[in-house]
Chain A
Amino acid sequence: MEADSQSHLVEGICLPLLRDAQNADGGWGFRPGSGSRVEPTCWVLQALLNASQSDADAVTRGFGFVRQAQLTDGSWPSTQGETTGCWVTSLACWTLTAAMDSPQIVAAGLNWLCKDWPRDSTPWQRLLRRFSTQRDIFPINDSYRGWGWTPHTSSWVEPTSFALLALEQAPKDLLPAAATRRRQLAESMLRDRMCAGGGWNCGNPKVYGVPGEPLVIPTAWALLALRAHPEWPENEMSLDWLEQNISKIQGPGSLAITRICYETYGRTWPAGAPELRDLHAGNQFLQSIQVAAWACLASGPRPRWLSSGGANAV
């Protein structure tokens, strides 16, 4: 019964929405009728690649959109017209790795990624911080370094997780020399930024002495990025936090990513937990293409990019 309703959600609602929403340029926007952007296009491609029915033409055109959106420095911008790359570079590399026909494009993206150091932890910023009267407001170990949402800003949990997943998925021969060091620093950064009782928020475990509240989506992405180390206490505590909070999830995006994460760690989805079909009934996912793609990934077979258990584990 549950399988039928999940199947109806994917095959009857989400996949038709995704197929109908592809733009003439091959990409997808965040909502039907919106202009194509790299981020939703990558999520839709992941969902279509995972679907049982072949969408070869749509996928080919989607990959074409992602390839042509790359900037000359190897990065990808968040929106057309923007000339600076950002975190969607991780998603693009990760998605194009699945195409297996764009090694140079992926290599250029990974190279940009490994050169994109966050600004908050440069030697100069760390020195300034030592002498700052505000250094205790936001107590973190700034020798650890992940990735920011945009260049020359601070390390945050989600873009760091995406970058780790991109580096993990890439064929070893495409990885820049700095990749191993970047991954080690980033994993340490994630562990350092975990909230006191498990789970992650955007990356502020404590501000002004007050412990930060974890959030579902950053927790799930961090756990997926760190899944090669299920024995780490941070992973165990955060999985427990997630389990305790599944019943309170009200957003389908959070629920879909949680389900992917939870099943990746081999846990059984708790009886009585919210179901995507019920949340869809409330607001129809706010017509979000990205959430529909995540729902497909959560309801279908385990995504291929999670089956390796961390192909390039550090």
Chain B
Amino acid sequence: MPRIRPAATLAFLWGRERGLIMRNQTLIPSFQRPSSSVVIRRAASYEHDLASLIYESLEVFKLPVKGKTVLLKANLVGIDPLGVMNTHPAVIAAARESFLRLGAAHVLVGDGPAMDRDTEAIVESVRLREFTGPLGRDFVDLNVDDVERVPLKTHASRLKELYLPKTTLGVDFLVSMPKLKTHHWAGVTLSLKNMFGIVPGSCYGWPKNVLHWAGIDRAILDINAVARPDFAIVDGIVGMEGNGPIQGTPKASGVLIFGSDPVAVDATCCRIMGLVPERIHYLSRAGTLLGHLNLDKIQQLGEEISSVRTPFAVLKAFQEVAA
């Protein structure tokens, strides 16, 4: 049987608390910008002309993707024949078409599902091929991609390094494409939390439990500091409330949210969901490191938040994050 090591235990507990005390950090230089733009667009259903809507929305940002390789990091959580827990394939297909139309040389689609190692079963259950056509090698199972050791920059968690997929590290432009969902451990799962999916199961398992032990909130910061998405597209046409990210209840919000600052995008999503982003632990800290959280630093384009606000139910443990 393992021995109890009091010194190590105290050090561990101190380390856990240290993250809460560590303050006065400023935005990491490469993420500094005076303000961030976020576009909110209405889309009542997945039958909408999403390709045109997404293309027009991306044009606002004048993204440097011409001739580049883009990775659409979708949120493929599990077998989902009803299409309520994963990024909808219609949104993925429309985003892919839009980036190609913007001149991207190559648009990959990928994810590393956290709970189920049968990625192909998940992809088939959401009928991705029906929307995108055969992807062949343009679909990347990030769980089993070749990996590279990456020292972490922020040390918000106790992790010093992570092995991450070479595809994610090697693309020119990384797009986080989450679904608008509540999350039973983190509060919400949006473009920052979606990046958990780049951590490979082949190294860390299904689920990627080492991240839970490191602290979900802190691990989100560490991952995004080394692999920050260049852009986020959030599928809020139908999201999930309550006991997300898998067992919650579908919630139609009829929106897509776009932006090149994932913190600003996630903060806007929270406000649409009737939640206070400053009360979500990891978002609150992300607002000091990775992007803008405050309304006065976010230029809201498209629809007003108030016109699309759709309050999401949260678990009792997260009642304090509701506005």
Partners in one complex: yes
- Residues of A within 8 Å of B213, CB to CB, are 119, 152-154
24 A-B residue pairings within 8 Å (CB atoms): A78-B163, A78-B204, A79-B163, A82-B203, A124-B4, A124-B9, A134-B317, A148-B209, A149-B206, A156-B205, A156-B207, A158-B205, A207-B247, A217-B117, A250-B125, A251-B118, A251-B122, A251-B124, A279-B120, A282-B124, A283-B120, A286-B120, A288-B120, A290-B144
Q: Determine the chain A residues whose CB is within 8 A of the CB of B129 once the complex forms.
A: 282-283
A12-35 interface mask toward B, CB cutoff 8 Å, 1 = contact, 0 = none? Answer: 000000000000000001110011
CA distance A250 to B79 in the complex (A): 9
Chain A residues proximal to chain B, CB less than 8 Å = 29-31, 34-35, 37, 39, 78-79, 81-82, 86-87, 117, 119, 122-124, 134, 148-150, 152-154, 156, 158-159, 201-202, 207-208, 210, 212-213, 215-217, 249-254, 279, 282-283, 285-288, 290-291
Also in contact, A253 and B146, with CB within 8 A (given A149-B204, A287-B137): no
Contacts of B141 in A (CB 8 A): 30, 286, 288
Residues of B within 8 A of A35 (CB): 146
Closest Cβ–Cβ distance, residue B183 to chain A (whole Å): 12
Cβ of B23 under 8 Å from chain A: no
In the complex, A279→B207 CA distance in Å? 25
Cα-based distance from A217 to B201 in the complex (angstroms): 14
Across the A-B interface, the 9 shortest Cβ-Cβ residue pairs: A149-B205, A251-B121, A30-B144, A251-B118, A250-B124, A153-B209, A251-B120, A78-B203, A254-B118
Contacts A210-B247, A250-B125, A282-B124 given; does A29 touch B205 at CB 8 Å: no
Least CB distance, B113 to chain A, in whole angstroms? 11
Contacting residue for B209 out of A154, A249, A282, CB 8 A: A154
- In the complex formed, the residue of A with least CB distance to B123 is A283
Count chain B residues whose beta carbon lies closer than 8 angstroms to a beta carbon of A.
Answer: 44
Residue B226 at the A interface, CB < 8 A? no
Q: Is B147 an interface residue (CB 8 A)?
A: yes
Which residues of A are found within 8 Å of B1, using beta-carbon distances? 117, 123
Q: Which of A79, A201, A202 contacts B147 (CB 8 A)?
A: A79
Q: Looking at the complex, which one of A202, A252, A285 makes contact with B115 (CB distance below 8 Å)?
A: A202
Tell me the residues in window 212-237 of chain B with beta carbons closer than 8 Å to chain A beta carbons: 212-213
Beta-carbon contact of A288 and B210 below 8 Å? no
> Are A31's CB and B120's CB within 8 A?
no
Residues on B lying within 8 angstroms of A by beta carbon are: 1-2, 4, 9, 78-79, 115-125, 129, 134, 137, 139, 141, 144-147, 149, 163, 184, 202-207, 209-210, 212-213, 243, 246-247, 315, 317
Q: Is the CB of B206 within 8 A of A123?
A: no
Does the CB pair A252–B210 fall under 8 Å? no
Nearest-Cβ distance from residue B224 to partner chain A, whole angstroms: 21
Q: Are B243 and A208 in contact (CB under 8 A)?
A: yes
Instruction: Tell me the bound Cα distance from A149 to B210 in angstroms.
Output: 9
Task: Check A286–B4 contact: CB distance below 8 A.
Answer: no
> Do A250 and B121 touch across chains, with their CB atoms under 8 A apart?
yes
For B144, B147, B204, B210, the residue with the greatest tally of chain A CB atoms inside 10 Å of its CB is B144
Are the C-beta atoms of B144 and A288 separated by less than 8 Å?
A: yes
Residues of B within 8 A of A82 (CB): 149, 163, 203
A residues in contact with B137, CB < 8 Å: 287
Q: A78 contacts B121, CB within 8 Å? A: no
Q: Which listed residue (A30, A148, A158) contacts B202, Cβ 8 A? A: A30
The residue in chain B whose Cβ has the minimal distance to the Cβ of A148 is: B209
CA–CA, A97 to B44, complex, Å? 58
**Given A149-B209, A282-B129, are A291 and B120 neighbors across the interface (CB < 8 Å)?**
yes
B2 contacts which chain A residues (CB < 8 A)? 117, 122
- Write the chain A residue with the least CB distance to B203: A78
Q: Which of A149, A158, A212, A288 has the most CB of B within 10 A?
A: A149
Q: Pick the contact of B139: A39, A149, A153, A286 (CB < 8 A).
A: A286
Contact B118 A122 (CB under 8 A): no
Q: B119: which A residues are within 8 A, CB to CB? A: 251, 286
Given contacts A79-B163, A153-B213, A290-B144, A253 and B203 within 8 Å (CB-CB):
no
Collect the chain A residues with CB atoms within 8 Å of residue B210's CB.
149-150, 153
Q: State A124–B209 Cα separation when bound (angstroms).
A: 19
Please determine whether B202 and A78 come into contact, CB atoms closer than 8 angstroms. yes
Tell me the bound Cα distance from A251 to B243 in angstroms. 26
Q: Which residues of A contact B123 (CB under 8 A)?
A: 283
Point out the residue from A79, A124, A252 that lies within 8 Å of B120, measured CB to CB.
A252
Instruction: Please tell me if the beta carbons of A39 and B202 are within 8 angstroms of each other in the complex.
Output: yes
Chain B, residue nearest A181 (CB): B1
Tell me the complex Cα distance, A134–B316, Å.
12
Inter-subunit contact B205/A87 (CB<8 Å)? yes
Cβ contact within 8 Å between B202 and A159: no
A250-B119 Cα distance, complex, nearest whole Å: 10
Residues of B within 8 A of A150 (CB): 204-205, 209-210
| List of A residues within 8 angstroms of B118 by Cβ | 215-217, 251, 253-254
Closest residue of chain A to B81, judged by CB?
A: A248
A202 to B207, CA, bound (A): 7
Query: Which has the most chain B C-beta neighbours within 10 Å: A150, A156, A212, A285?
Result: A150
